[in-house]
């Protein structure tokens, strides 16, 4: 009569030991992974660039300058950045996702950023936003509540490990669907769809008379988004617009003011070095969006900035984008003349 209860008690103790062993193993693994991550941060001076070790994901967010208006999807700066990562064996596994939506503004992006991070789990977030803030209707800023998945991703290396293993097992890359449509009345629809998840970044409509305090709100939104990304363990990189004319110049000024303390790539300043007169049809469309060559230059500059974080230099932009080489040379020589340091970019070529 006592054999069954004894058997049940023995099985219960064994099960408890198994559960305890698994929990202890996860705790030890978490400690080892956290220690490894801390060592990497220390060795890389607290700034691990995308793709240094293992699989990484770079998500590019912004407006039409990220989306690549009038151009094929494979001729945008995120697409060219993907080409650069894949051409280097050390970063071949890195995915670059273009989630830019024409017409979107910083208030809407701030409101949706939590969903973007939760859906795509980026390691690095590249952000170019602000030129539409003056003339579009802002949305009430409402930072989304942090979900349990976001908290795990931010704080648990074991959770990230299992996520990466599952991703490797499926052997698939994310292929988000970016839907941009023009609706009646001129209002556009722009959404990012991944599986059952749909993130609405649609143009909010034209603001009558513009937004008087848009500069202060843009700076506040940029800093809030940087803080949100950093809380979730995402490397946040702020980009200025390549063009320095019209609304872009005003937005770039605000972006630069918000940049101290953040990772920052000043594309506007670099493009000004390449095109001081701000009238270069070779690299800009008539509306000052970059053309395909302009995006090759932008991708090369972003690539170099990301790789420079661990002291890694690369001539890949020269090999993949030979038409961009003279423009990159001009940028490097102008920087060298201003700083008195010899230019790092020594590829042969003639400045345009």
Per-residue pLDDT of the chain in tens (352 residues, 90 and over written 9): 556 666 776 777 777 777 777 766 766 666 775 675 555 444 444 444 444 334 589 999 999 999 999 999 999 999 999 999 999 888 899 999 999 999 999 999 999 999 999 999 999 999 999 999 999 999 998 655 556 555 665 566 666 556 555 555 554 556 788 888 865 555 678 999 988 889 999 989 888 877 889 999 999 999 999 999 999 889 999 999 999 988 999 999 999 999 999 999 999 999 999 999 878 999 999 999 999 999 999 999 999 998 876 555 567 888 999 999 999 999 999 989 887 766 655 433 333 3
130: in domain:
yes
Q: Is residue 24 domain-resident?
A: no
From residue 253, give the alpha-carbon distance in Å to each of 82, 235, 243, 247, 294: 28, 22, 12, 10, 21
Q: Is 251 exposed, middle or buried (0-12, 13-18, 19+ CB in 10 A)?
A: buried
Q: Is 17 inside a domain boundary?
A: no
Largest CA distance in the chain: 96
Q: Could you list the residue range(s) of the whole structural domain that residue 304 is in?
A: 50-339
pLDDT of the residue at 43: 45
Q: Are strands 124-128 and 188-194 parallel, antiparallel or unpaired?
A: unpaired
In a domain, 215, yes or no: yes
Q: Would you state the pLDDT for residue 217?
A: 96
The rounded distance, in Å, linking the Cα atoms of 107 and 140 is: 7
Residue 344 lies in a domain: no
Tokens 């661990």, residue located: 310
Q: Is residue 7 included in any domain, yes or no?
A: no
pLDDT at 21: 72
What is the pTM (predicted TM-score) of this model?
0.78
Q: How many whole angstroms separate alpha carbon 285 and alpha carbon 272?
A: 15
Residue 324 belongs to a domain: yes
CATH of the domain at 198: 3.40.50.1110
Nearest to 234 by CA among 310, 107, 120: 120
Tell me the Ramachandran region of residue 342: left when phi exceeds 0, alpha when psi lies from -120 to 50, beta otherwise: beta
On whether residue 347 sits in a domain, the answer given is no
Count of structural domains, the chain: 1
């Amino acid at each position: 009569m006592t054999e069954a209860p004894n058997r049940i008690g023995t099985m219960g103790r064994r099960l408890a030991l198994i559960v305890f062993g698994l929990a202890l193993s996860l705790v030890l693994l978490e400690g080892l992974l956290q220690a490894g991550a801390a060592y990497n941060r220390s060795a890389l001076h607290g700034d691990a660039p995308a793709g240094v070790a293992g699989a990484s994901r770079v998500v590019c967010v912004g407006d039409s300058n990220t989306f690549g208006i009038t151009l094929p999807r494979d001729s945008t700066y995120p697409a060219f950045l993907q080409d650069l990562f894949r051409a280097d064996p050390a970063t071949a596994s890195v995915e670059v996702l273009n989630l830019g939506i024409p017409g979107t503004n910083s208030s809407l992006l701030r409101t949706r950023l939590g969903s973007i991070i939760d859906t795509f789990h980026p390691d690095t977030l590249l952000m170019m936003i602000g030129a539409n803030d003056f003339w579009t209707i802002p949305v009430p800023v409402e930072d989304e509540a942090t979900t349990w998945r976001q908290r795990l991703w931010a704080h648990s290396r074991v959770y990230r490990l299992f996520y990466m293993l599952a991703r490797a097992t499926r052997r698939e890359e994310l292929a988000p669907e970016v839907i941009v449509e023009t609706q009646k009345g001129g209002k556009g629809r722009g959404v990012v769809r991944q599986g059952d998840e749909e993130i609405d970044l649609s143009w909010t409509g034209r603001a009558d008379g513009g937004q008087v305090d848009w500069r202060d709100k843009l700076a506040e939104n940029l800093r809030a988004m940087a803080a949100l990304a950093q809380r979730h363990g995402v490397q946040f990189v702020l980009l200025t617009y390549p063009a320095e004319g019209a609304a872009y110049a005003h937005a770039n000024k605000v972006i630069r003011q918000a940049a101290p303390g953040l990772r920052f790539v000043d594309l506007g300043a670099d493009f000004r070095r390449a095109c001081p007169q701000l009238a270069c049809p070779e690299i800009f469309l008539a509306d000052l969006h970059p053309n395909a060559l302009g995006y090759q230059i932008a991708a090369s500059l972003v690539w170099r900035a990301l790789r420079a974080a661990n002291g890694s230099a690369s001539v890949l932009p020269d090999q993949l984008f030979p038409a961009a080489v003279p423009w990159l040379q001009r940028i490097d020589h102008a920087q060298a003349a201003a700083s008195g340091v010899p230019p790092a970019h020594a590829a042969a070529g003639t400045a345009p």
